[in-house]
């Protein structure tokens, strides 16, 4: 088990100004699985994932990252190994690109974590290869690339640290359909390469297509924590209750799934396309 969370409460602020956000979260993330975190805006998803690499510390309870226990007493200087274990890819990560070349940008993380220049360069080249960018890009400015390519460079920057777990906040947001598909394929490939993946998503198609397991958050609590099959076997009214949108294509895929026909690998855009597959 990569990460276990026990009795986690979290509030922003201090004293009388506190805003309670997470309430008694108990769960664990399985190694080498893709866990999707879903729930309406404001339900606590971003706050929750920031506990996984100690960007935020619990107010109560603990987060256990590969044997390293994080509580509200944990000191900043103890957090290096946690940050090395859990890589965080924020929304629109390309906004944080800064270096004059792709290679330098991706080397920045490993260099900062004490790698030599040679080691950092090797790690960066490997990461760029993993995200599907050839050597031709190494000396280019990241700012001349397409949106999808920039996002890959940003992702390579996290991957170059070789974290066992990677956390994505809306990884495909803002990309065109082709860019979205490529990015989701990449996440699937990272899982196949042995990574543990946590992914916040608003898109049920993505969840159905990628996730092994889903954690549903509502008002700072876990409303469901189960396999993707179990989740999508729930009745429609349950999703409405969580304020979760079920697009028509999903309703159709669910019907197929309940009948035991899984099309998780198919990126079907509409019902007609799915109907052709039966």
19 binds ligand ADP (CB under 6 A): yes
Indicate which single residue of 39, 58, 110, 148 sits in contact with ligand ADP (rule: CB under 6 A).
Answer: 39
* Distance in angstroms (rounded) separating the CA atoms of residues 261 and 212: 16
* Closer residue to ligand ADP (CB): 218 or 263: 218
Measure the CA dihedral 30/36/39/42, to 10°: 90
For helices 147-159 and 117-130, angle between their N-to-C axes, nearest 10 degrees:
130
Helix, strand or coil for residue 188? helix
Helix or strand run (H / E) with residue 92: none
Binding part of the chain for ligand ADP, among 42-50, 90-98, 189-197, 236-244 by CB under 6 A, reads 42-50
Helix, strand or coil for residue 38? strand
Indicate which single residue of 35, 46, 53, 203 sits in contact with ligand ADP (rule: CB under 6 A).
Answer: 46
For residue 133, what are the contacts with CB-CB under 8 A and spacing of at least 6?
A: 102, 149, 152, 153, 156
43 binds ligand ADP (CB under 6 A): yes
Set 170, 192, 248, 273: catalytic member: 170
Q: Is 182 labeled as catalytic in the residue annotation?
A: no
Q: Take residue 113 and report the two structure tokens written for it.
A: 């974590």
Smallest distance from the beta carbon of 151 to ligand ADP, in angstroms?
A: 19
Distance in Å from the first CA to the final CA of the chain:
37
53 binds ligand ADP (CB under 6 A): no
Q: Give the number of residues in contact with ligand ADP, rule: CB under 6 A.
A: 11
171 binds ligand ADP (CB under 6 A): no
203 binds ligand ADP (CB under 6 A): no
Binding part of the chain for ligand ADP, among 40-48, 57-65, 72-80, 254-262 by CB under 6 A, reads 40-48
Q: Are 28 and 8 in contact (CB under 8 A)?
A: no
List the catalytic residues: 170
**Residues of this chain that bind ligand ADP (CB under 6 A):** 12, 19, 21, 39, 41-47
């Amino acid at each position: 088990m990569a990460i276990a969370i026990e009795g986690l409460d979290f509030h922003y602020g201090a004293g009388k100004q506190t805003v309670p956000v997470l309430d008694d979260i108990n769960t664990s993330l399985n190694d080498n699985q893709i866990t999707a975190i879903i729930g309406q805006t404001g339900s606590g998803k971003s706050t929750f994932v920031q506990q996984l690499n100690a960007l935020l510390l619990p107010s109560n309870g603990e987060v256990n990252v590969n044997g390293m226990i994080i509580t509200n007493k944990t000191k900043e200087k103890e957090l290096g190994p946690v940050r090395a274990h859990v890589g965080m890819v924020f929304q629109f990560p390309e906004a944080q690109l800064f270096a004059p070349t792709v290679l330098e940008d991706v080397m920045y993380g490993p260099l900062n974590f004490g790698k030599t220049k040679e080691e950092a360069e090797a790690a960066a080249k490997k990461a760029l290869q993993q995200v599907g960018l050839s050597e031709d890009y190494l000396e280019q400015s990241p700012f001349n690339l397409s949106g999808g390519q920039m996002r890959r460079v940003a992702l390579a920057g996290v991957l170059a640290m070789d974290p066992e777990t990677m956390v994505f906040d809306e990884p495909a947001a803002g990309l065109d359909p082709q860019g979205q598909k490529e990015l989701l394929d990449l996440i699937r490939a990272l899982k196949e390469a042995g990574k543990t993946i946590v992914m916040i998503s608003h898109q049920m198609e993505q969840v159905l297509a990628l996730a092994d397991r889903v954690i549903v958050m509502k008002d700072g609590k876990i409303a469901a924590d189960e396999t993707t099959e179990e989740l999508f076997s729930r009745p429609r009214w349950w999703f409405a209750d969580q304020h979760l949108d079920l697009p028509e294509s999903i309703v159709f895929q669910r019907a197929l799934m309940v009948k035991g026909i899984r099309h998780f690998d198919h990126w079907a855009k509409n019902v007609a396309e799915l109907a052709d597959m039966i």
